[in-house]
Amino acid sequence: MRHGKWSVYCVLISVLLLIIPTQVAAADKIKIGVISPMNFMQGRDAWDGATLAAEEINKSGGITVKGVKYEIDLVKADSNEFASVPDAVSAFERLITFDKVNFVIGGFRSEATLAQQELLAQYKIIYLNTGSAAPDLTARVKQNYDKYKYYFRANSVNSVLATPPVSATLQVVMDKLKTELGIQKPNVGLIMQKARYIDAMVDPVQKIVAALGGKVVGLWRPSATAPTLVAELSAAKEANAHLCFITFDGPAGVITDKEWGAMKFPFVNTGYNSEAQTKQHWEATNGYCEYSTNLGWIARSNITKANAPFWDEYVKRYNRFPSVYSATHSAMNVLKVAIEKAGTMGSDILVGELEKIDYPTSYFRQVFYQKDQKFAHDTIIGAGHATGYVTQWIKGELKVVWPDGKPLQTSEDAQSWQGIRYQGTAEYKLPPWVVEYWKGKK
Amino acid sequence: MLQNIVANGLIFGGTYAVLAGGFALVFGVARILNMAHTAFYMVAAYIIYSFISMLGMGSIVVSVLAIIMAVILATVCYILFIDRVKQHDLTVMVITIAIGMLFQEIILLIFKGDYHGVEPFIKGYLDFGKVRITYQHLFIILSSLIALGLIWVLLAKTTMGIAIRAISQDRVAANLMGINVSRVILITVGISAAFAAFAGAVVAPNLTIYPQMWMPPLITILAAVVLGGLGSLKGAIIGAFILGLVESAVVFLVPLGGYLREAVSLVTMLIVLLVRSEGLFGIVFEEEKL
């Protein structure tokens, strides 16, 4: 009987000994949820960017909080938000309640992110959103700070605040039309996908066109899944457009560039096309995207010291360019710096630390707007901060053509852009068929 | 503007017509509302992309292979999933939706959500006045007309065609007259899939190839088929061209509403149904003739 009793004690002690180290090990991890549509480019890039960052941070000793080193443990969540916004909310809640993550990064569709924001105050969880562009997302942080303060748009871009680089996509090509073809008042067609964040861009873009001396000759609003854009492109040609500002973030962005190049529509193609920033775009359009110009948030440059090494490692490992969605890489680093400075993972203290952060990430200098500003917790865009790039496809390569060192005419601080030009910036080239079509016609 | 509306309407309508023709054919004969119809179009586009980009094969050979493979796939799916429940229309419809989704998920697993493209079979373009049209677009319109002509010859001039029409008119009587109904239905399923794959083959160079590409045309061809009169091949084809023209007109006349192209197609269908409940060419809803 006595032996039996000791046997029970031994078993209990053994079990405790087995459990205790496991708990200690578990406590040394910081769990970060990465949420995005994982079967798509957006999700894959978000996961790859985060994975690369986690490996780098863990290799360099992890995140140190008050002398204790924590390893990063990533948790993948497929938001399925192309098909269903409720799925995106459920996946987010599952990350918090089931996977018990400490932080969440990623996100894509603004409609899904708006819904996910409703969970943040309830669970006091910080969300570094790296893929949504609707202005409402940060406007509501100012309007209801206590409820939405855990949300930060890190390394992603508010479509309204993106005015400087949007303006640059027009200025670069309009300057060239003026100097090379003598077209002083270019006709501008706007082909802008129907989407919440793009709705917010329509008026500003029209104002920029007018400020740069152009004339809007048509506005078309196709869907992101339109199988062909030949009707819109034909309509722009019929309206005598010298250039078209084209905005897409779905499959229609691929076919637009392909049809534009294959049918040699006689206008310049510029704007914001998320697909055009990918390495695969050249193959997907069979090279017909050549000479298209595009606004991007990441390119290989010397904008920060971390940019080129990150770009090179990413391309080497994944054989793809990092995209705006791979900005999970910089979001992770921002999080690490904030946690280490705060010395805690407590959400309320960390919010304050993130509001103070000024850190050169692999994308750009990350500084957030303050809580009393219109777009609180949004990334500051401007000279010396996140500048964005204008890129152009030339012979299979994505060349940076802006910032080009010239003042940005439509910007309130136009002169602050003077001299901002990254290493390797090329000169913008007009498509030869556009030159041929308009030479002498004006 | 009118020239452009007509030209683009013909481009849209040509593709929809080939897809809608196959859809109407299999409904007319087998009463299968095949919601996976455009999934075969997607599968064909992926086969063409894979064989051209990975194996470097010629586009014509690959297109023929894609059509053959889609036909085999469709007939296998019919035998495995549909044949045993073909008397239950609703079950069949749900099963075909599941088949379409299954193909989409398999493609997603293999190819991920990346976008792909195929080189045009014939490069270059023509200017007709204000209209710019590629040789590939002309090829789509011409080959669609040829394919539709071939199906008309098959249905009107061959024994198999007579059997297909007989079954579409009265399955029981056709059976009593000695026609092997099951065999003819199986062949019709194959022909229908061949139509979808053919559309995928000729249109692939003008599309972005991605796993959900089968969804947008499905809505439009459903509208075309109902507009023309369910089961009527002629009605489906004319309905497809009408909707092609309507979609083109929306872009030119209501540029801010381009994203509503599909919605306008559905509204057009509803208006026609309000005036004529059996559709444009439906004689009697259930007993359609060629």
What pLDDT digit, counting tens, does each position of A139-171 carry? Answer: 999 999 999 999 999 976 787 777 888 889 999
Any chain A CB within 8 A of the CB of B172? no
Percentage of residues in chain B with pLDDT exceeding 90?
10
pLDDT digits (tens, 9 = 90+) for A337-388: 999 999 999 999 999 999 999 999 999 999 999 999 999 999 998 888 989 8
* Parallel, antiparallel or unpaired: strands A293-296 and A389-394: antiparallel
A129 Cβ contact partners less than 8 Å away, ≥ 6 residues apart: A105, A106, A107, A113, A137, A151, A152, A153, A154, A156
Instruction: Say which residues have a Cβ less than 8 Å from residue B147's Cβ, sequence separation at least 6.
Output: B18, B21, B195, B198
pTM for the structure as a whole: 0.80
Angle between helices B2-30 and A230-238 (to 10 degrees): 160
Q: CA A424 from chain center: how many Å?
A: 22
What is d(CA B224, CA B217) in angstroms, rounded to the nearest whole number? 10
For chain B, how are helix, strand and coil distributed in percent, rounded to 5?
A: 75, 5, 20
CA B124 to chain centre: 26
CA distance A193 to chain B (A): 8
Confidence of residue B288 (pLDDT cuts 50, 70, 90): very low
Say yes or no for a CB contact (<8 Å) between A231 and B4.
Answer: yes
Nearest-Cα distance to chain A for B168, in Å, is: 33
Alpha carbon distance B230, B24 (integer Å): 7
The residue written with tokens 């995209």 in the block is A323
By three-state DSSP, how is residue B192 classified? helix
Per-residue pLDDT tens listing for chain A (442 residues) = 455 565 556 555 555 545 444 443 445 899 999 999 998 888 999 999 999 999 999 999 999 998 899 999 999 999 988 778 899 999 999 999 999 999 999 999 888 999 999 999 999 999 999 988 888 999 999 999 999 999 999 976 787 777 888 889 999 999 999 999 999 999 999 999 988 778 888 999 999 999 999 999 999 998 887 888 888 999 999 999 999 999 988 888 999 999 999 999 999 999 999 888 888 899 999 999 999 999 988 999 999 999 999 999 999 999 999 988 999 999 999 999 999 999 999 999 999 999 999 999 999 999 999 999 999 999 998 888 989 899 999 999 999 999 988 888 877 777 888 888 998 899 999 999 999 999 877 5
CA proximity to A388, closest of A327, A442, A343: A327
B257/A221 touch (CB, cutoff 8 Å), yes or no? yes
Contacts of A232 in chain B (CB under 8 A): 251, 255, 258
CA distances from A427 to A170, A265, B12, B274 (A): 15, 22, 39, 59
CB contact under 8 A, A232 and B258: yes
B252 touching A (Cβ < 8 Å): yes
Centre a 10 Å sphere on the Cβ of residue A8 and count the other Cβ atoms it contains: 9
pLDDT of residue A12: 56
Total residue count of chain A as it appears in this document: 442
- The answer to whether residues B195 and B151 touch, using CB atoms and an 8 Å cutoff, is yes
**B184-209 per-position pLDDT tens digit:** 888 888 888 888 888 888 888 888 89
Q: Any chain A CB within 8 A of the CB of B120?
A: yes
pLDDT given at position A11: 54
Of A39, A235, A265, the CB nearest to B108: A39
Q: What is the pLDDT of residue A84?
A: 84
User: Residue B27: what pLDDT?
Assistant: 80
Task: Judge whether A228 is closer than 8 Å to chain B, CB to CB.
Answer: yes
Q: Is B11 on the interface with A (CB under 8 A)?
A: yes
Distance CA B19, CA A129 (A): 41
Q: Flag whether residue A252 sits within 8 Å of chain B, measured between CB atoms.
A: yes
CA distance A171 to chain B (A): 25
B114 to A284: CB separation less than 8 angstroms, yes or no:
yes
B261 contacts in A (CB within 8 Å)? Answer: 222-223, 226
Beta-bridge partner residues of A273: A248
- Burial class of B286 by CB neighbour count within 10 A (0 to 12, 13 to 18, 19+): exposed
Could A264 and B125 be called an inter-chain contact, meaning their C-beta atoms sit closer than 8 Å?
Answer: yes
A57 close contact with B: CB closer than 8 A: no
Q: CA A119, CA A110: separation in Å to the nearest integer? A: 15
pLDDT of residue A24: 39
State both tokens at A217.
């000759």
State which residue of chain A sits closest to B7, comparing Cα positions.
Answer: A231
State the complex-level ipTM: 0.81
Residues of chain B with Cβ-Cβ distance to A231 below 8 Å are 4, 8, 12, 247-248, 251-252, 258
Residue type, A23: Q
Shortest Cα–Cα distance, B154 to chain A (Å): 31
Cis bond before residue A403 (omega within 30° of 0):
yes
Contact predicate A239/A222, CB 8 Å? no
pLDDT tens digits for B219-242?
Answer: 888 888 888 887 778 888 888 898
Distance CA A367, CA A381 (A): 9
A404 touches chain B (CB under 8 A): no
* A-interface mutation test, from B208, B214, B246, B247, most A Cβ less than 10 A away: B208
pLDDT bucket at B165, cuts 50 / 70 / 90: confident
- How far is it, in rounded angstroms, from Cα B60 to Cα B148? 19
Q: Are the beta carbons of A70 and A17 closer than 8 angstroms?
A: no
Q: Does B213 touch chain A (CB under 8 A)?
A: yes
**Which residue in A40, A219, A284 is closest to B113 by CB distance?**
A40
Asked if residue B122 lies in contact with residue B139, where contact means CB atoms within 8 angstroms, the answer is: yes
* pLDDT score for A7: 57
pLDDT bucket at B69, cuts 50 / 70 / 90: very high
Greatest Cα pair distance, chain B, in angstroms, is: 58
- Tell me which amino acid residue A307 is: N
**Interface contact A370, partner B, CB < 8 A:** no
The answer to whether the Cβ–Cβ distance between B115 and A284 falls below 8 Å is: yes
Nearest chain A residue (CA) to B254? A220
Q: How many CB atoms lie within 10 A of CB B143?
A: 18
Distance CA A179, CA A310 (A): 37
Closest-CA residue of B relative to A193 is B259
From the list A220, A222, A238, which residue is nearest B130 (CB)? Answer: A238
Place of tokens 């590939």: B136
Each residue's pLDDT tens digit, B5-42: 888 888 888 888 888 888 888 787 777 788 888 898 89
| Cα atoms in the 13 Å half-sphere on the side-chain side of B37 | 32
The reply to whether residue A284 touches residue B208, judged by beta carbons under 8 angstroms, is yes
Whether chain B has a CB inside 8 Å of the CB on A11: the answer is no
- Whether A409 and A213 have beta carbons less than 8 Å apart is answered as no
Average pLDDT over every residue of B75-101? 87
The answer, for B113 touching chain A at a CB cutoff of 8 Å, is yes
CA distance A135 to A335: 23
Backbone angles phi, psi at B132, to 5 degrees: -110, 130
| pLDDT attached to residue A166 | 87
Residues 6+ apart with CB under 8 A from A188: A170, A209, A214, A215, A216, A217, A241, A242, A243, A244, A245
